[in-house]
Homo-oligomer: A and B are copies of this chain.
């Protein structure tokens, strides 16, 4: 097998069968087609499955050296895999001269791997000493375009974030666990008495640290020093990297909610400069990748149900602090599978394809 580069660079999608992969394939079909060959790869479990991309059927290959045969300089491999798989296989791809675009956590803190959200720091994609480009965590991705646009105007001084995270951030296993739990509690009179939800859901809470149906869980990731979770520290570190503000104070609390798709965040941002809510709304309206929905009297505010399946970050509830004329509050929703992963990886890959065009 050799990659056909006559109509553009070749693209491989590793993890094509996962929650993010299943969203990425239709995105490839919808966007301007810059690719020659597109190759779909997953674990040996999925080898031989047939998936549709760009209106054609493609057979899923098992992840082996052979799957990348013919790949070389100018080609791109997107990794939508667990971090340990990305860590193992991205170097295999770069050895061939192809660029690896990874949406896992494997390389996000590697100083030699740029961490890119094209709306904010597209320029960073070109400096990639290891031939690898990383995309951010889905919580960072949901807010960074809005925060970045406000930062460009007002100079960010302090950021506080509380998340309302969807179950699909934990992949197919996350969505399935929430659906199963909802079936157990819906249609019952459970949910208002002590222990109700835990008893109904049972021990098998899937990838979550407790029952998620009719509940919220203030935990995702692993425990780090000071009681912080790895996920909270990651959002802090990534925000600092992408905005190139290495000392920015950032406080994050990550909370999982019983939503299938679409992350929501409350954001409090303090700036070096005075803010004005009306002007902030104008900035957000003009920001790439951001759509403003901010007319609560008319029922217009972002919700994850409305953000699910769409590309932008939806921003609303923009308010100036009543006590601090340097601070803004807002609410943002974005599809964790799209802007949080599949769309961002596609956008990065298109930037790389554009370099050789």
Residues of A within 8 A of B (CB): 158, 160, 162, 164, 168, 175, 179, 182-183, 185-187, 191-198, 209-211, 214-219, 223, 226-229, 236, 249-251, 253, 255, 257-261, 264, 266, 268, 277, 294, 296-297, 299, 301-306, 308-310, 316-324, 327, 329, 331, 337
In the bound complex, residues from chain B placing their C-beta under 8 Å from that of A197 are: 305, 308
- A210-B299, A257-B164 in contact; A226/B308 too (CB < 8 A)? no
When the two chains form their complex, are residues B324 and A249 in contact, meaning their CB atoms are under 8 A apart?
Answer: yes
When the two chains form their complex, are residues A322 and B236 in contact, meaning their CB atoms are under 8 A apart?
Answer: yes
Closest Cβ–Cβ distance, residue A311 to chain B (whole Å): 10
Query: Complex: how many Å from CA A255 to CA B265?
Result: 10
The residue that A186 contacts in the complex, of B186, B196, B322, with Cβ under 8 A, is: B186
Closest Cβ–Cβ distance, residue A309 to chain B (whole Å): 4
The residue that A277 contacts in the complex, of B160, B227, B308, B323, with Cβ under 8 A, is: B227
Q: Which residue of B lies closest to A226 (CB)?
A: B319
In the bound complex, residues from chain B placing their C-beta under 8 Å from that of A316 are: 218
Going nearest first, the 10 A-B pairs with the smallest beta carbon separation are A249-B323, A186-B186, A194-B309, A191-B260, A197-B305, A162-B162, A215-B305, A162-B266, A182-B186, A192-B261
In the bound complex, residues from chain B placing their C-beta under 8 Å from that of A227 are: 277, 294, 296, 317-319
In the bound complex, residues from chain B placing their C-beta under 8 Å from that of A196 are: 305, 308-309
Closest Cβ–Cβ distance, residue A228 to chain B (whole Å): 6
Q: Which residue of B lies closest to A258 (CB)?
A: B258
In the bound complex, residues from chain B placing their C-beta under 8 Å from that of A323 are: 158, 249-251
Query: Complex: how many Å from CA A294 to CA B219?
Result: 11
When the two chains form their complex, are residues A214 and B305 in contact, meaning their CB atoms are under 8 A apart?
Answer: yes
Told that A191-B260, A216-B264 touch, could you supply 14 new A-B pairs with CB distance under 8 A?
A162-B162, A162-B266, A191-B261, A195-B306, A209-B299, A215-B305, A218-B303, A226-B322, A227-B319, A249-B321, A251-B327, A258-B258, A258-B259, A268-B268
